[in-house]
Amino acid sequence: MSHEYEKVDVPENGEPITLAEGSDDEIDVPENPIVPIIHGDGIGQDVAPAAQRVLEAAADATGRSIAWMRLYAGESARERYDENLPEDTVRAIDEHRVAIKGPLTTPVGSGFRSLNVALRQTLDFYANVRPTFYLQGVPSPMKAPEEMDMVTFRENTEDVYAGIEWEQGTEEVEQVREFVEEEMGFDETMHDGPIGIGLKPISETGSKRLVRKAIDYALEHDREKVTLVHKGNIMKFTEGQFGTWGMEVAEEEYPDEEVFAAPDSLWETEDEVDIPEDAVMVEERLADAMLQWIQLRTDEFDVLAMPNLNGDYISDAAGAQIGGLGIAPGANFGDGRLLAEPVHGSAPKRAGQDMANPTAMILSGRMMLEYLGWTDAADLVRDAVEETISGGKVTYDLERQLEGVEKVSTSEFADEIVDTVERLS
């Protein structure tokens, strides 16, 4: 590990997180780890410092400390480095293994590559994990939002997010069109005139390691079921193959008494599946059907694993059921590494106003604490956030939907949570 960066200061009061000896996936965590943090764009400048304070309080309350290492991406990197994603940032996250970031802005339709996707692909954070659970006091459009307790595993490196596409009007797109129509025989597939074309790669490697990660999570956290979600009835050789490869993992890599691959689970049946006691069941469901099942049969689903685009849609839809993306946490997992980040965007019109809800960023940090093995600190964070909201101290986005509550700023909300952490500990 170099510890030498062009424009990044390495804190002297912390120690680096390293891989455990003899492992390529387990980490060795000191009591005072160095944790890189990117505040991000827009409201990142408000919610990231608020999350830092809460996470620091939880670490301190459990006899530990966090040595923050400030990194830069997006607007802050352009000001400091004149580029969006400097080598300093990529290398520091790579070398220190566990990091957290706020939202980064990607302009729509500009050809500007998503920095979020770039970080995930460059450092091989191949599993985007989003736990969706209800916090008491949060307004929800659902009659029984407390039934939602679901964790989505979204493949993070391929599918349409791989960025293999050609712009309309270019020589390259016409070459692809000619190849597809004339060489491959799909001469009636595409309309005449301007067209954009993209490729959708889904691989055995990407699919199996994602499903393996989801099954391992279910086993470690006493979850009952893993549902593979895809649109394989239409995209048979990409999404359909994801389902096939995923079921192969369940059938071939785990003992029968641990993991049971449910036969003929793609379509709804009236028959109950008889699985071994305490085994995790792995099943398949179609993506379009899942968008209704997560509302109509919320409590029947547990851990979901799916290709990239489906994971984006379905995790957002699940987040809406428990109050919206403002409180939805997430983290990107690789082998022996994690990058926590909230699900929501940068909301530039609210930037710097000390009014944005930092809950999603705080709960993303809670996932980071769990990954460090600090489950006591992670539990403190969740309990303190829930108690603060249910106690009637909320930011503007929740206050406008509730009666009899007090509207507080981002920083005041963090103050309340920190006070609660200290009291609960």
Q: Name beta bridge partners: 151.
A: 131, 303
Burial class (CB in 10 A: 0-12, 13-18, 19+), 15: middle
Q: Which residues contact 69 (CB under 8 A, 6 or more apart)?
A: 8, 9, 10, 11, 14, 34, 35, 36, 37, 92, 96
> Strand pairing of 225-230 and 303-306?
parallel
Q: Which residues contact 344 (CB under 8 A, 6 or more apart)?
A: 103, 325, 326, 328, 360
Give the separation between CA 364 and CA 103, rounded to whole angstroms: 12
Tracing tokens 């387990």 back to the chain, one arrives at 26
Going by the annotation, the residues of the binding site for D-threo-isocitrate are 114, 116, 120, 130, 154
Nearest partner of 44 among 86, 84, 11, 74, judged by Cα: 74
Give the separation between CA 363 and CA 356, rounded to whole angstroms: 15
Q: Of these residues, 72, 126, 134, 161, which one is catalytic?
A: 161
Going by the annotation, the residues of the binding site are 105, 114, 116, 120, 130, 154, 312, 357, 396, 400
Structure tokens at 170: 């270019």
Give the separation between CA 268 and CA 296, rounded to whole angstroms: 14
Going by the annotation, the residues of the binding site for NADP(+) are 105, 357, 396, 400
Contacts 24+ apart (CB under 8 A), 291-298: 291/317, 294/148, 294/150, 294/318, 294/321, 295/142, 295/321, 298/142, 298/144, 298/147, 298/148, 298/150
Going by the annotation, the residues of the binding site for Mg(2+) are 312
CA neighbours within 13 Å on the CB side: how many for 284? 24
Active site residue 288: yes
Query: Which parts of 253-298 fold into alpha helices (H)?
Result: 287-296
Structure tokens at 293: 């099942």
In 156-204, at which residue ranges do the beta strands (DSSP E only) sit?
A: 165-166, 197-198
Q: b vs e for 272-296, b when ≥16 Cβ sit within 10 Å of the residue's Cβ?
A: eeebeeebbbbbbbbbeebeebbee
Neighbours of 177 (CB within 10 A): 16
Q: Of these residues, 101, 213, 225, 231, which one is catalytic?
A: 231
Q: Of these residues, 312, 371, 393, 397, which one is catalytic?
A: 312
Give the separation between CA 34 and CA 189, rounded to whole angstroms: 53
Active site residue 231: yes
Q: Of these residues, 25, 278, 288, 299, which one is catalytic?
A: 288
Active site residues: 161, 231, 288, 312
